[in-house]
Chains A and B, each alone.
Chain A
Amino acid sequence: MLSEPKLKVLQDLIAGSSKEELLWINGYFNGVVANHQPSANGTAQASAVVTNKITIVYGTETGNSKALATQFAAKAKKSGINAKVFGSDQYRLTDLVKEEYFLVLMSTHGDGEAPDAAKKFYDHIVAGGFTLEKMKYSVLALGDTSYPLFCNVGENIDIEFDKMGAKRLVPIQKCDVEYEADATQWFDKVIQSLTQKTASAPTAAPVANGHAAPVSAKKVGKLAFTGNVLTNIDLNDRGSNKETYHIEIAAEGLEYQCGDSIGIVPENDSQLVTDIIAKTNIDGNKSLEYKKEKFTIYELLKRKINLIYLTERLVKQYADVTGHEIPVGRYDLLELVQKYPVKVPSQFEEILVGLNAISPRLYTLASSPKAHEGEVHIIVAKDVYTDSNGQQRKGLCSNYLSGLKVNGKQNFFIQPNKRFRLPADDKDIIMVGPGTGIAAFRSFLAERDATGATGRSWLFFGEQHFASDFLYQTEMQNWNETGVLTKINVAFSRDQKEKIYVQHRMLEHGESLYEWITGGASFYICGKKDPMSVDVENALLHIIEQYGKKTIEEAKKYLEQMKEEGRYEKDVY
């Protein structure tokens, strides 16, 4: 049925895709077919095309850029353009000078840093020393305006390419945490510039905010599940500063691997929903269309729309619709309807449909498919923080999960993380997982326990207090006793005058740790990116430097080598 080039594109795509990606593509095409206006002139589009080849390189930490890249590639193909998609760590840097149409989707993290997997790519560009005369490019920069160096990495790439002689297809687009609309618009412009079409193609599959791929895949029914909540317990003892929930969910047909994440779309607090309905006099039972699906307004408020900490853009929209003057800032919807009431319910309906969907949150799974058959386990710390107005706030999803009722139903999806995998059974592993970072390693240890793996295991765990915060203490004790966990060192920061963290424990055991590493052990970090993963990496470098009798440069090279061998993996957030 397909022409030769199309067939080749499809075959290339299939050959280069993982099982999960294929499942996604399947779901995606379902969406495309469902929404597709049959075009009588499928080839007409192609004839207007300036080029039929583009390269998309993404640099991602949380998977957002990757999801966009995949989504755009599919969209490009619809316009007759073959897009090659690369993760920036898989991209051959020497190919850069040959590129003609080149798109970069790049996230910025923390203090203006490139994602781990994009560091090499970024350093190569910044180091320069080559020209890009053939290249026409555009950059989509993802970031978070709450950081000072917002979209810094994307911006620098844009500037460097320009310096090297490349031409901009369309100007750089910087996106905040809710990037969906901006990103789609940017890509539409890119397609326009490539096809010289005036009207932008309609968006194919409905794209959920944040994690397009898995949400779409839900339609396939393979990676999306409805489970039954078996357990929900606060692992911290009385007197702790923390609340960390261990949740077990059983579901039919589960399929995942250790290292994968679970995606959950949290629901809004019922009281909050009731309050908003009461304040606006809106009919909760009335049906409303939101993103092409119909919901009752109650459903919409409860399960679909983010009501918390609306962005400045949405607040402005609210002000425009209601005619109130609202000082610039971020507000909860309840706060807005209380202080700046809507005049009639219909006005509120207009506002509702313009609000963002609740984005799914990802949590590294704490269970092993072999040890906890038919179950997924999550560990989640209830997030309580102070916003810029000094108000105490609860993280939406962690708060939602903490309140999950046993025997209740819960939807979720599995987000694979292919980079974070156990090595062969006979290989040693070193795991650094303070706080909820323990999740991945509870999964690893349970798996190794179930499979009887012969490789040694060494865990570094840390929290605030030994007595109240030692997550999974009895399990770790058992694994330590049975030898599944060969060594374990713990750091409780607030049990003594001076703060002690996992990296201090690593340094104390540096010599032994170096022996493990040179003996082929894989090193994993899971947990907070900042400052934990940075401190741990520095400690590791220091150990390699000291016990390997290397310069710091050599130590860094050694760590690079470990990364290339897949022996240094991080799952940090």
Chain B
Amino acid sequence: MAEKKLTAIEGIKVASDGLRGTIKESLLDEITGAIREDDKALIKFHGMYEQDDRDRREERAAKKLDRLYSFMIRLRLPGGLISAEKWIACNNIANENSTGVIKITTRETIQLHGLYKSKIKPTIQAFNTAHLDSIATCGDVNRNVTCASNPALSTVHEEVFAYADKISNLLMPKTKAYYQIWVDNEMLIDKKEEEDPLYQKHYLPRKFKIGIAIPPNNDSDVFINDIGLVAIVEKDKLIGFNIAIGGGLSATHGNAETYARLATVIGFTDTEEKTLRTIYEILTVQRDFGNRTDRKLARLKYTVDKLGVDKFKEEVEARIGFKLAPAKPFEFTERKDIYGWKKSNKGLWYYTVFVENGRVLDDEQVALKTALLEVAKLNKCNFMFTATQNIIISDVADKNKAAIEEVLRKFKIIEHTEGASLLRKNAIACVALPTCPLALAEAQRYMPEMISKMEPLLEKHKIADQELIVRMTGCPNGCGRSAASEIGFIGTHPGRYNLHIGGDNEGLRLNTKYKESLNEAELLAEMDSLFGLYNKERNKGETFGDFTIRKQLVK
């Protein structure tokens, strides 16, 4: 490894003066909507990606216009919790500066698309005023920490949930560049305060994701993370966490060295101090041993497999100064959002709203964005974002439930949520075209249509009552977690997808490629025959994913 050349991004990070680079100068380039090449890598650490509308390239070129560059900005919301007041702020900022659509992501946060360069500063400043930030939501750092969402499902939720915030704060980069560049140019920085013992000057080799789950529901899809924490609860008390390492779904077509991987449980920690320390040192091991010469092989999963799980664990234990306890038994039985009203043991109510592909907007079918704004204006709840890209109207007191329900009824949100099929409600699609530069095929723009064509097949084969998990991504990088689904569509070319099956329902087994590069008709024909087979030959209670494995349709 030492012989190979470090990637260009490694050089950019080290030379960036605490992630500053020439971002300020880039913002002053008046004649381009883009920022300078090196700065593109750096703004990710500030929570943004530069994108351009790929649908519009040709037409704009004919008009002698440059590509339509814009920026996506993603908030840091550990566990995906936001107050009603902050939701209103996001709603207004989205209207003013972006496409207006608020996108709930699979990492339980929200992102806005289509910000022109001139709108970045006003956006971040408005977020700052609302006590929101986008620090470290992209880039080679720890990203937004996800957590089991619905507080009504567990007595220890509040205690577990607090970890998301603690972990996020523990792993925040120390540089104040974010505030200096975007919020206050005049800000004076004491460089000593910026010294960063965790990230140093070169940060991590690659992105880093941490998630927390509370069995038996694996709604946060915990094993797809670099570090997954499984809350261990005994007699309604949190006794600690199983720690799993090396999850990650991204792969590259045609690159056999890359693969999706679920995290491996390596042990158990019982105190907060031990848990946080272990997490911290897993990052330092990845920092020091991760591959910095090939970004495709730089995620923690490759470091773990390169060193071997045991060796990796030893290295971590050497750094934390204690041995990890053996993992505790746990069981996941489902992986889904529980829609509708649920009451927590503390007497508060939670309503999970179905948001197709996580896109909050007003469309012909439902005025979801207006409805949520109206709910927020009542100022009687919080909002939570789930890993399946839905919203939970949270922490509603008994006396306020009726008022909120009235708004939900008025805007037909309850109808909308109850009316959607199970298939649709469990589905995920990534952003893909036109803005994602990695996309090879459509995903979120096409998935609703695909679902509509699959629904009659499920009806036909009398399996519409199944909690079938279907996910679509425009490429194999896995933002929509397609590798961890019972049916995965992974884009290869425009209009063509690899069909993956064999993943389980709970998120403990990845799927496998079944057929390559199919068009829509071929996909539907394949599913028609698979569903027919499943209906005829399944065992009682057997999920589709398990059935396909038992039948050895894939290995």
A residues whose Cβ falls under 8 Å from a Cβ of B: 233-237, 246, 466-468, 470-477, 480, 488-490, 492, 495-496
Q: Which residue of B lies closest to A246 (CB)?
A: B64
B264 touches A (CB below 8 Å):
no
Docked complex Cα distance between A334 and B27 (Å): 53
B462 touches A (CB below 8 Å):
no
Q: B31 to chain A: which residues have CB within 8 Å?
A: 470, 473, 476-477, 480, 488, 490
A466-B116, A467-B116, A495-B116 given; A473·B30 CB < 8 A: no
Q: Which residue of A lies closest to B68 (CB)?
A: A467
Q: Is the CB of A475 within 8 A of B118?
A: no
What's the nearest-Cβ distance from chain A to residue B19, in Å? Answer: 26
Q: B60 to chain A: which residues have CB within 8 Å?
A: 237
Q: A233 to chain B: which residues have CB within 8 Å?
A: 62-63
Question: Which residues of chain B in 29-81 are interfacial with respect to chain A, using CB atoms and an 8 Å cutoff?
Answer: 30-33, 56, 59-66, 68
What's the nearest-Cβ distance from chain A to residue B56, in Å? Answer: 8
Q: Which residue of A lies closest to B67 (CB)?
A: A474
Q: Is the CB of A477 within 8 A of B32?
A: yes
Docked complex Cα distance between A420 and B118 (Å): 35
Q: B64 to chain A: which residues have CB within 8 Å?
A: 235, 246, 471-475
Q: Is the CB of A473 within 8 A of B62?
A: no
Q: A472 to chain B: which residues have CB within 8 Å?
A: 64
Q: Is the CB of A466 within 8 A of B63?
A: no
From B30, B59, B66, B116, contact of A474 by CB (8 A): B66
Q: A496 to chain B: which residues have CB within 8 Å?
A: 118, 122
Q: Which residue of A lies closest to B30 (CB)?
A: A490
A466-B116, A490-B31 given; A235·B68 CB < 8 A: no
What's the nearest-Cβ distance from chain B to residue A372, in Å? Answer: 14
Q: Is the CB of A234 within 8 A of B63?
A: yes
Docked complex Cα distance between A476 and B30 (Å): 11
A237-B68, A473-B66, A488-B30 given; A466·B118 CB < 8 A: yes
Q: Is the CB of A237 within 8 A of B30?
A: no
20 A-B residue pairs with CB within 8 Å: A233-B62, A233-B63, A234-B63, A235-B65, A236-B63, A237-B59, A237-B60, A237-B63, A237-B68, A467-B33, A471-B64, A472-B64, A473-B66, A474-B61, A474-B65, A475-B64, A477-B66, A488-B30, A489-B30, A495-B118
Q: Which residue of A lies closest to B65 (CB)?
A: A473
Docked complex Cα distance between A475 and B63 (Å): 11
From B65, B116, B118, B122, contact of A237 by CB (8 A): B65
3 A-B pairs closest in CB distance: A490-B30, A474-B64, A473-B66
Docked complex Cα distance between A488 and B32 (Å): 11
Q: Is chain B's binding surface mostly helix, strand, loop or mixed?
A: loop
Q: How many residues of B contact A (CB 8 A)?
A: 17
What's the nearest-Cβ distance from chain B to residue A132, in Å? Answer: 54
What's the nearest-Cβ distance from chain A to residue B356, in Å? Answer: 25
Which of A470, A471, A476, A490 has the largest number of chain B CB atoms within 10 A? Answer: A470
Docked complex Cα distance between A340 and B65 (Å): 49
Docked complex Cα distance between A474 and B63 (Å): 9
Q: Return the CB mask of B90-130 against A: 1 if under 8 Å, else 0.
A: 00000000000000000000000000101000100000000
Q: Which residue of A lies closest to B96 (CB)?
A: A497
What's the nearest-Cβ distance from chain A to residue B30, in Å? Answer: 5
Docked complex Cα distance between A468 and B64 (Å): 11
What's the nearest-Cβ distance from chain A to residue B190, in Å? Answer: 32
What's the nearest-Cβ distance from chain B to residue A283, in Å? Answer: 44
Docked complex Cα distance between A471 and B122 (Å): 25
What's the nearest-Cβ distance from chain B to residue A438, in Å? Answer: 11
What's the nearest-Cβ distance from chain B to residue A231, in Å? Answer: 9
Question: Which residues of chain B in 374-407 are interfacial with respect to chain A, using CB atoms and an 8 Å cutoff?
Answer: none
Q: Which residue of B lies closest to A491 (CB)?
A: B30
What's the nearest-Cβ distance from chain B to residue A355, in Å? Answer: 38
Q: Which residue of B lies closest to A459 (CB)?
A: B31
What's the nearest-Cβ distance from chain B to residue A393, in Å? Answer: 26
Q: B56 to chain A: which residues have CB within 8 Å?
A: 237
What's the nearest-Cβ distance from chain A to residue B215, in Å? Answer: 48
Docked complex Cα distance between A467 and B69 (Å): 8
Q: A492 to chain B: which residues have CB within 8 Å?
A: 118
Which of B33, B63, B122 has the largest number of chain A CB atoms within 10 A? Answer: B63
What's the nearest-Cβ distance from chain A to residue B258, in Å? Answer: 36
What's the nearest-Cβ distance from chain B to residue A493, in Å? Answer: 12
Docked complex Cα distance between A473 and B63 (Å): 9
Q: Which residue of A lies closest to B62 (CB)?
A: A233
What's the nearest-Cβ distance from chain B to residue A454, in Å? Answer: 23
Docked complex Cα distance between A470 and B118 (Å): 14
What's the nearest-Cβ distance from chain A to residue B113, in Å? Answer: 14
Q: A470 to chain B: which residues have CB within 8 Å?
A: 31, 65-66
Q: Which residue of A lies closest to B63 (CB)?
A: A235
What's the nearest-Cβ distance from chain A to residue B96, in Å? Answer: 10
Docked complex Cα distance between A472 and B32 (Å): 12
From B33, B62, B122, contact of A466 by CB (8 A): B33
Which of B33, B60, B61, B64 has the largest number of chain A CB atoms within 10 A? Answer: B64
What's the nearest-Cβ distance from chain B to residue A480, in Å? Answer: 6
Known: A236-B63, A470-B31. 16 other contacts (CB 8 A): A233-B62, A234-B63, A235-B63, A237-B59, A470-B66, A472-B64, A473-B64, A475-B64, A477-B31, A477-B32, A477-B66, A488-B31, A489-B30, A495-B118, A496-B118, A496-B122
Q: B32 to chain A: which residues have CB within 8 Å?
A: 477
Question: Which residues of chain B in 497-544 are interfacial with respect to chain A, using CB atoms and an 8 Å cutoff?
Answer: none
Q: B66 to chain A: which residues have CB within 8 Å?
A: 470, 473-474, 477
Q: A471 to chain B: which residues have CB within 8 Å?
A: 64
Q: Which residue of B lies closest to A470 (CB)?
A: B65
Docked complex Cα distance between A471 and B65 (Å): 7
Q: Which residue of A lies closest to B119 (CB)?
A: A495
Q: A474 to chain B: which residues have CB within 8 Å?
A: 61, 64-66
Q: B62 to chain A: which residues have CB within 8 Å?
A: 233
Q: Which residue of A lies closest to B69 (CB)?
A: A467
Question: Which residues of chain B in 291-333 are interfacial with respect to chain A, using CB atoms and an 8 Å cutoff?
Answer: none
Q: B61 to chain A: which residues have CB within 8 Å?
A: 474
Docked complex Cα distance between A490 and B31 (Å): 7
Docked complex Cα distance between A246 and B63 (Å): 9
Q: A246 to chain B: which residues have CB within 8 Å?
A: 64
Q: A477 to chain B: which residues have CB within 8 Å?
A: 31-32, 66
Q: Which residue of B lies closest to A235 (CB)?
A: B63
Docked complex Cα distance between A467 and B60 (Å): 10
Docked complex Cα distance between A480 and B29 (Å): 11
Q: B59 to chain A: which residues have CB within 8 Å?
A: 237
Docked complex Cα distance between A508 and B118 (Å): 18
Q: Return the CB mask of B16-33 against A: 1 if under 8 Å, else 0.
A: 000000000000001111
